[in-house]
Structure 1
Amino acid sequence: MEVVPLASKNAAAVALQGGAADVIVTDWFWVSRQRAEGRDYSFAPYSVIAGGLMVRSDSQISNIEDLRGKSIGVAGGPVDKSWLLLRAYSKQITNDDLLGLVEPVYGAPPLLNRLVEKGEFPAVLTFWHYQARLKAKGMKKIIDIGDVLEQLGIAPGVPIVGWVFSEKWARANEDALRGFLRASAAAKKILAESDDEWLGLESLIKPGDNATLAALRDGYREGIPRHFGIEEVTASKNLYHILSEIGGSKLVGDSKELSPGTFWTGAIE
C-alpha cells in the first residue's frame, strides 16, 4: 500500500477522480452528489459524527441563545456538516437560523484555534482533532454534536467520513479492498483498547504534551463506528434530508434524495 500525502479534501477528490489515488477519506454527501452526476463512487464508514462547539474556560456562553450577536469561528466553510447541523438545531430550539443570529468566521482550523485562544472571538466549531487540542488547553464544549443529532431525531452512530472509492475499482480489487477495511477495523480496535499504542504515534500526530495526546486519543475513540447496518443507513437518509434543506444546492447539487449506492453494500452489516 502506498500512502499519498495530500493538502486538502479537494486535493483528495482530484486525486481520486484523476486516478492518482484508489481510495480517499471524505464524506458521503460528496459521494451522493457524485453519483447523482453519473459517477460510481461508494463509501465505507471510517468515523461517526463527533465534536461540538468550544468556548474558553472563563466564558459565560452556555447555549445557543448566548451566541446571539456574536462572531464564532467555523471550520470547513458554509457547508460544513457540523455547522449545518448547528443551524438546524438552532431553528428547532430558537425558531431562528443560527446564520441570522451570529457572524460566522470561516477559516482554516489551525488559524481558528489560535484566534479563539487569543480571545478574538468567543466560540469555535471545528474538526474533532482541533477540538481535542483546545480541550487539552482548558477550553470546554458547550454543545455536543451527538446531542444535536438526538434533538433532531437522528439515531446515533451515523458515519460522516469514510473510505471512498470507485465501484468499478472495488469489483476488480474486492479482495484487496476487504483486506484493507479489515486492517482498518483491526487498527481501530487496537487504538480503542490500548493507551500504550498511542505513545508510538507521537511523532506522527505531534501532540506537544501528554494532555493533548490523551485528548486526541479520547476524541478518536469517540468517533470509531460501532456498527453500520440498516438502522444507520436509514438515519443517514434522514440526516441527508435535514442538511439538504439547510445546505441547499451548494451541498447536494440538484439531488434531493440520497443517491442509491452511496454506501458500499460490502460495508453494510
Structure 2
Amino acid sequence: MMISRRGALRLAALGTAAVLTAAGAARAAAKVRIGVLKFGTVSWELDTVKHHKLDAANGIDLEVVYFAGEDATNVAMLAGEIDIIVSDWLWVSRQRSEGDDVTLAPYSTAVGAIMVRQESPIRTIADLKQKKIGVAGGPLDKSWLLIQALARRDHGVDLTTANEIVFGAPPLLSEKAMQGELDAVLNFWHFCARLEANDFRRLVGAEDAAKALGASAAVSALGYVFHEKWANDNPDAAKGFVKASAQAKDLLARSDAEWQRLAPIVRAEGAELEKLRDCYREGIPARTIAEEEADAGKLYRVLAEIGGEKLVGSAPEMAPGTYWPELSK
C-alpha cells in the first residue's frame, strides 16, 4: 500500500511526538534510591508510597534498597551508592562540620521513652536510683543523654552511676523488661508503643526531656538524609520525594484502613497496631524548618555538653544547612 506524502509526514510527526512523550516520561520518572533497614518503621511509609504510586504521581521512580544495619546505609549513601537514607540531625550536623554536604528533610518527631510496668512503684526519674535500667542505642543515644541531662538538672541524679545500666538490642531489652528482668527500659518509640499496649506505661520520654531543656515543641529526631549536591543536581527528584513522603503521611494520618493493610508489614494487630498507629501519627512533623532548626540548635548545645566530642566532634554549634535549606523557601 502506498502512503501519500501528507500521510508520511503525519506518521513522522506522530513518531516524533511518541519519542518526545517517552522522553518526557523518562524525565518525569527519575530514579530515586533510598536505603532503609529491612524491618524498620520507615518501611511502613515507603510501602504506602509504592502501593498508591505516590512516587510516580510526583515524577519519580522510588527504589527501596534494604540493608541489615544503620552503619551500612550511612556508608552506602556517603559513597553515592544510594541517594537517601534515614538518620538524625545530630549525625548530619557532625558530617557537615567535618566537610560533607549531607542535609536533612524532617521525617518524624517520634522518640524513645523510659518505660515501666503499670504496677511499678517508680513514679519519677528520682525513683530510678539504684534500679536496673535497659538502654537501647548505646551510651551516646540522644534520648538517653537528654534524659540524663534532665535527671541531673531537676533531681540531682546521675543515672549512669546511680544505677545498673544494661545496653542491648531493642527487641531483647523489651523482652527482658516484659520478663521482669529490668526495672525500667529506655527503648525506641515503636518498641515503647508495643510495650504500652502490653501493660507498660511511660515514665519520661525524650520529648519531655527536650521540652524541659529548652525546646519549644517536638523536634524531628529523624529525617530523610541526602547529599545537598545530589538535591541541587536533581531538584525535581528531591522535591518529588519529599512531596510523596508528605502525601503518604497524610494518608496514614487519616486512614485507619491503610493501617489494616499495613498490619502484616507492621507485624501487629489489635490494640498493639492501634498504639503504633497513634504514636506514628503523633510523630508527623508539623512545624516550619526555622522552628525545627532553632530547637535543634538548643538541644545540640545540651547534647554537646553531656556527650562531648565522642558525640558531636569538635563543633560547638549545630552546623548551618543541617536542615535542607530548600524547604524554608
Q: Shared topology, TM-score over 0.5?
A: yes
Q: 1:111 aligns with which of 164, 167, 172?
A: 172
Q: Note the C-alpha offset of 1:49.
A: 4.3
Aligned to 1:78: 139
Q: Deviations over 1:5-53 (max 9, x none)?
A: 1122211101111222110000011111111111110011001143321
Aligned to 2:279: 219
Distance 1:49 1:92, change over 3 A: farther
Q: Is structure 2 residue 320 aligned with structure 1 residue 260?
A: yes
Q: Is structure 2 residue 2 aligned with structure 1 residue 2?
A: no
Distance 1:40 1:149 in 2: 27
Q: 1:199 aligns with which of 218, 240, 260?
A: 260
Give the structure-2-normalised TM-score.
0.79
Distance 1:259 1:153 in 2: 19
Distance 1:154 1:145 in 2: 11
Distance 1:63 1:16 in 2: 41
Q: Is structure 2 residue 301 aligned with structure 1 residue 241?
A: yes
Give the structure-1-normalised TM-score.
0.96
More displaced 10-residue stretch of structure 1: 93-102 or 151-160: 93-102
Alignment of 1:1-80 (within 5 A): 1-80=62-141
Distance 1:112 1:11 in 2: 23
> How much is the aligned-residue C-alpha RMSD, in angstroms?
1.2
Q: Deviations over 1:184-208 (max 9, x none)?
A: 011111111111110010121111x
More displaced 10-residue stretch of structure 1: 234-243 or 142-151: 142-151
Q: Deviations over 1:153-211 (max 9, x none)?
A: 2110311100000011111111011011011011111111111110010121111x311
Compare CA radii of gyration and give the structure with the larger one.
2
3-state SS of the aligned residue for 1:98? Answer: coil
Q: 2:240 aligns with which of 179, 191, 205?
A: 179
Q: Deviations over 1:62-104 (max 9, x none)?
A: 1111110111011100111110110010011112332122222
Q: 2:204 aligns with which of 125, 143, 154?
A: 143
Structure 2 gaps, min length 5: 1-61
3-state SS of the aligned residue for 1:99? Answer: coil
Structure 1 gaps, min length 5: none
8 Å Cα contact 1:74-1:107 kept in structure 2: yes
Q: Note the C-alpha offset of 1:254.
A: 1.1
8 Å Cα contact 1:43-1:263 kept in structure 2: yes
Aligned to 1:152: 213
Q: For residue 219 of structure 1, what is the amino acid of its counterpart?
A: C
Q: Note the C-alpha offset of 1:267.
A: 2.1
Aligned to 1:165: 226
Distance 1:61 1:232 in 2: 33
Distance 2:262 2:291 in 1: 34
8 Å Cα contact 1:155-1:232 kept in structure 2: no
Q: 1:127 aligns with which of 180, 188, 194?
A: 188
8 Å Cα contact 2:129-2:157 kept in structure 1: no
Distance 1:253 1:153 in 2: 22
Q: For residue 254 of structure 1, what is the amino acid of its counterpart?
A: S
3-state SS of the aligned residue for 1:142? Answer: strand
Aligned to 1:190: 251
3-state SS of the aligned residue for 2:66? Answer: coil
Q: For residue 223 of structure 1, what is the amino acid of its counterpart?
A: G
Q: For residue 279 of structure 2, what is the amino acid of its counterpart?
A: G
Quote the sequence identity (%): 48
Aligned to 2:311: 251
Q: Note the C-alpha offset of 1:143.
A: 1.2
Q: Note the C-alpha offset of 1:234.
A: 0.9
Distance 2:139 2:250 in 1: 34
Distance 1:110 1:176 in 2: 35
